[in-house]
Each structure stands twice: as C-alpha cells, then as structure tokens.
Amino acid sequence: MVLLRFAPSPTGFLHLGGLRTALYNYLYARKLGGKWILRVEDTDATRYVPGSVENIQESLNWAGLDYDYGPSKGGPHGPYFQSERLDLYRWYSKKLLDSGHAYRCFCSADTLASTRERLARTGSNETYDKACLHLTDEEVARRVKAGDKHVIRLNDSTMPDRPPGHDIVFGTWKENHGSLPTDPILLKSDLYPTYHLASVVDDHEMGITHVIRGEEWLPSLPLHLDLYACLSLPPPEFAHIPILLKADGTKMSKRSGDAQVIDYIKHGYEPGAILNWLVLAGWGAKHEKPSDAPVSSAPDHARAGAKLKSEDAFLPDSTSIMTLPEMIEKFDLHTLTHRRSILDQVKLKYLNRHHLLQRMSTPEGLDSIVAQLYAYVQETYPASEYATEEYVRKLIPTINVVTFEHFKESMPIFFIEPDLYTSEAQGMVGGMNNATYKAVLQKMISLIENPGLVWEHDQLEIEMRATGRDGPWTPKVIMTVMRHALTGVKAGPAVADIMHVLGRERTLRRLRKASEEDVVKSWRSWHGKSEHAKLPVR
C-alpha cells in the first residue's frame, strides 16, 4: 500500500510551510490511492512547546486534511510519538554497532569543541578526528560498564555501495558528503535518537513508501540513504519541496507569528483558500521527462507515478481556483519548481474572496455563514432590535468581503448610530464647507422623501448619480456626504447598498440628524481654523 507521513516536531505551532508539507502528503497519498500518517517527532525534549501537538491536530482538522493513522486515531503503525519508540532506535543502533557501521564515542563536549577548532585551523572539512573509533573492544566494554556517558556515531568510512540518490522534484543531483558532519551522531547520550536515525527507522518500520518533506533536508539525503544501505533496508521514494518564504524574503519559522496557521484561522480565512494558496506556491513548472532508469531500490508500488510526463501534467495558472478534490486530481510533484517561492498576500485575498463566494453560492454554505454571523450579532449587539437572523441574511449580499472577518468589521454601521465626529469621519468632509454639506443633505432628503422613489439598489444609485450630473455638485461630493452622514467611516459597502439595508425611514433619520448639526464647523474648530473660513464649493 502507498503510505506517506507528515512528521512535525512539537517545537511550536504549525506554520504555513508545515501545512503545505502536510497538504502535499495528503494530496499525493489520495492521488495514488494510499494513506498517510501523522507522526510526532518529539525526541528533543528541550525544545518542546506545550500545546503544539494539539495545535497541529486542530490546524489539520480545520484545513480538512484528515490523516488516516496517528495520535488520537491509532492504527497498525503505532506508537505515533517517537518518544514512545526508544527501544526500537536502540535495537537498530546495536545492529549498526554489531556490523561495524557505528561505534561508541565517549568524548566530552569540551573535547569535541577543541577538536573542531583544531581541525578548522588546519583547513580540514572534518568535524571530528574519529578518536573513539580506535578504542579497543575491551576499553569500550569497560567504559560502558562503568556508566560513562557516550553517543553512538555512524562510521562513515565503512559505507556500502548503493545507487545514486534520486529525488522526485530535483531529479538526480551530485551528492556532497563533505557538507555532512564527520561520523554523524545517531544516538545521543540521553539514549534519544537524532533525526537521521529516527526518521530512517520509523519510515521503514511504518512501511512508508514516499517521503515528502522540506528542501532543507535534501543535503541530508545522502546520509539517510547510507543508513538504509548499512541496515540493508530498501529506501522509500523521496520528494523535497522548495522552501516557502515570507513577503520579505525570509524563511518561514514556528516563532514567526505572521506565518502561523492559527493567525489565519483567527482572521477568518477560508481553509480552502489557504490550501489553494499553498498548493499553487511553486506548482506549474515544466521539466524534462523523468528518466526511466530505476531511481532507487524501493519496490515498484513505491514508485507509482514516478514516470509521468510533465508535458502531460496539469499546469495551473498562478490564481487557479481549486477545491480539494480538484487539487487531488490535478496535483503532480513533477511540476514543482526548483526555486523557493514567496507567498503573496494579495493573491491570498483574491483566492479567499472567491472561495468565500463559492461557499455562499450553496444553500448550505450560506446558511452556515448566516448562523455564524447571527451568533456574533447577538453577542455584540444584544440590545439592537435588528439583531435578527432575517436582518443578517438581508445584509450579507451588500458586503464586499475578502475574509469572514470583513463581515464583522462591516457590522457596526448597520446596528449602531454613526459617530460623525471621529477623526476618520471628520477627515471625510474636510474639503468642503458646512453650507455645502447641509445643502447636499437637504437635496438627498428631498429625493428620498419622494414616495415615487423605488427603494431598490440600482434605482437609488441611478437617482443619486443623476442628481450629481445635474449639478451643482459632482457625484463624488454627493457620495462622500452620504457615506459620512450614514456611516461616519470611509470604507464599507456601496452607499446605495447601505441605504437599501437600512430602509427609507432609518436612512432619513440619519440624514436629518446630520443635517441639523454643524459637522464641518466642528471639524474646523478642532483644527484651530476660523469658523468663517471659506473654501471653494466642489
């Protein structure tokens, strides 16, 4: 069975880069008819962040990425926390010791630091002098029996021959063992494994057929392939996906609040839009047809889909709107770019608006939005006579939303009377005199009082703009005065939409109240200007 895994460390809340890795594992597993595992790599207790495991699970659940096996679900491959698999790593470490592919190192931290400095001064690329490799079996046994602290290192001078490394995304590349530490540590002195040993052991023991992980692990792939060869185990297929960058070009980090999934949840983004945004980051590149030569010693079923022609693959536009089922159908690892991708927040807003409108286009989706907003309105405006489900349903079409939070941000103008004296409100009418402001309102009041005026959005828009064309004010002046009197805020739905939702009587009440006050005069006095100063009427 095709089996993939998403294996985060509980060292912080899930960020966008981690969610994209989980998404790619989910998509590829579903595309190949397989399953995927959530495995928690918690072997570094010093970096553990309380609540991070729960956050990872909640974020995946919010995104709709349902893993088949893992914490809280169980399955045939458990346990799913590496801290509960320590005996397994010790067993494999002993196997490497017995075969001569590993040895015990008793050097202290101070000794190792001194050795690194000495080797660096000689111009050597090595990071360790293999001093403990030359200890006799008797000396090693004596020190182990005495309880001397030690680690287990890989003996990189005994590596067996193996096929060259191959990656689904990057193809065959030149391996550089020189960038790896000399005789890397596999098991630490606290008997916890390093990532290298634990990932290799767990991927084999769990039956993982494909490993999709971040590009930062590509330099370690030669070491991992060496470990598979030393243990006489068939490696899985590997795909390293290019790193995501923030808008400023820096790498995603668990410590960066703006990159955490929870922040996008709080800001009301649609999960489908976030997945759409992430899946498009770096997808759509044309590469040469992958080689038909064997890429590893993995079983045939583990290489399913490895020979797809990229020219036959779906190459999406940078703003393609896709649902999760469509992503599964069209996704192809072979069409990922080799370059790192910057996440474009403008693109996310575009995608989110379309996904939100898509949700609103179905009766079930619209009902869910109404229910969410109605609960919010009841809590926020409990004394308002307009805090009804019917009224909420009426105002939803008027709001030009980007995220669900925009609904909430647009609510106040429909439930509370506007404050015309805030700095924002006063700034809206700062370019006209008080006489102009009142004259515009009186004209609009007369228009609205006409019983023959059809109270419908398009007709309201037509009548107001026609008044502007007839003079003496431009449509812009009329719309500015109306927006100020009705809302007191610069941004929001179209003026005609606001009027339509408020109704004729509430609209007239607000306009009359504004016309009775010296709004612009008050603004001038705040700024130390004469009440009699004259500005041109526009």
Q: DSSP assignment of 230-292, as one string? A: HTT----EEEEEPPEE-TTSPBP-TT-GGGBHHHHHHTT--HHHHHHHHHHTTB----PPPPS
Provide the residue type at 511 as one letter: L
With tokens 């290019």, the residue in question is 242
Nearest to 153 by CA among 227, 43, 234, 222: 227
**Two tokens, residue 305:** 């889909």
Across-strand partners of 38? 6
Per-residue model confidence (pLDDT) at position 255:
61
Contact 431, 538 (CB under 8 A): yes
With tokens 């630490």, the residue in question is 188
Q: How many angstroms separate the Cα of 185 from the Cα of each of 41, 102, 200, 399?
A: 17, 9, 14, 58
pLDDT digits (tens, 9 = 90+) for 470-495: 778 888 899 999 999 999 999 889 99
Per-residue model confidence (pLDDT) at position 448:
95
Per-residue model confidence (pLDDT) at position 307:
41
Per-residue model confidence (pLDDT) at position 403:
86
Q: How many angstroms separate the Cα of 328 from the Cα of each of 39, 155, 285, 314?
A: 22, 42, 18, 11
Tell me if residue 361 falls in helix, strand or coil: coil
Give the CA-trace dihedral at 335, 339, 344, 347, to 10 degrees.
Answer: -20
Question: pTM for the full model?
Answer: 0.83
Residue ranges, the chain, pLDDT below 50: 290-311, 522-538
As a whole number of angstroms, the distance between CA 521 and CA 518 comes to 5
Distance of CA 326 to the CA centre of its chain: 19
pLDDT digits (tens, 9 = 90+) for 304-355: 444 444 445 678 888 899 999 999 999 999 999 998 988 988 999 999 999 9
Q: Which domains does the chain have, with CATH numbers?
A: 1-72+196-359 (3.40.50.620), 362-405 (no CATH), 423-526 (1.10.10.350)
